[in-house]
Amino acid sequence: MKLNDDGLLIVLSGPSGVGKGTVRDALFEMEGHDLVYSVSMTTRPPRAGEVDGRDYFFVTREEFEANIRAGKMLEYAEFVDNYYGTPLDNVMNNLSAGREVVLEIEVQGAEQVRKKMPDAVFIFIAPPSLDALYKRLRARGTEPEEVIQQRIEKAKREINLAYKYDYIVVNDTVENAADKILAIIRSEHASVKRVLKQYKKMLGVE
């Protein structure tokens, strides 16, 4: 029995290299949920095989900036001369329809969401150790040692922001992490602050 009609906004965030995307994929492959992934908007050109509206909403720089000015971005950031962000409309429509919306975003973006949607569930995906994070970044094989070291330093600063989140899910194995996130979603649907008013109304108890 779900007592709140609105879906939950679930924010998955954490340091670069922690495996947010893999955890999110595993989560969506699991049974027993009604999750919707919030497709991001970007100004970077589509790569081979990427589909507009599925992988990203691909827009021009002018369109993206018009969205920012119109307050239509829940969060956004600029990386390497391209904008990336979460369109607000899509999120709100899904939440109103009772769906759980999952955002998988950078720590910086999560800070913006926290200001606009404090009722969201903020989950910090954390590495089991800094060494594990280092190895994962190395295994990508795309960056020089110096850049990896910078990422580790950034990860430490981001871990120091974890206190602002509701949950810390250690990505020791992807299955464990995804399973824990599902438990968190179920549990949040029973939290007194979310359901009490509606429960008492349902029972006719003042």
Q: Which stretch binds a copy of itself (CB under 8 A): 6-14, 23-31, 101-109, 180-188?
A: 180-188
| Spatial separation of the C-alpha atoms in residues 196 and 173, rounded to whole Å | 35
| Nearest to a copy of itself of 139, 205 (CB atom) | 205
- Residue 38 to residue 191: CA distance in whole angstroms: 24
Binding-site member from 68, 168, 178, 201 for a copy of itself (CB under 8 A): 168
Instruction: State yes or no: residue 30 binds a copy of itself (CB under 8 A).
Output: no
Binding span for a copy of itself by CB under 8 A among 51-59, 77-85, 143-151, 159-167: 159-167
Burial pattern 57-73, b for ≥16 Cβ within 10 A else e, equals bbbeeeebeebeeeebb
Q: Write the interaction track for a copy of itself spanning residues 100-129; mark x where CB under 8 A is met and - where it is not.
A: -----------------------xx-xxxx
What is the size of the binding site for a copy of itself (CB under 8 A)?
Answer: 42
Closest alpha carbon to 85 in 32, 40, 47? 40
- Decide: 167 and 121 in contact? Cβ < 8 Å: yes
Instruction: State the pairing for strand pair 100-104/35-37.
Output: parallel
Residues that bind a copy of itself (CB under 8 A): 1, 3, 123-124, 126-130, 156, 159-160, 162-163, 165-170, 172, 176, 179-180, 182-184, 186-188, 190-192, 195-196, 199-200, 202-206
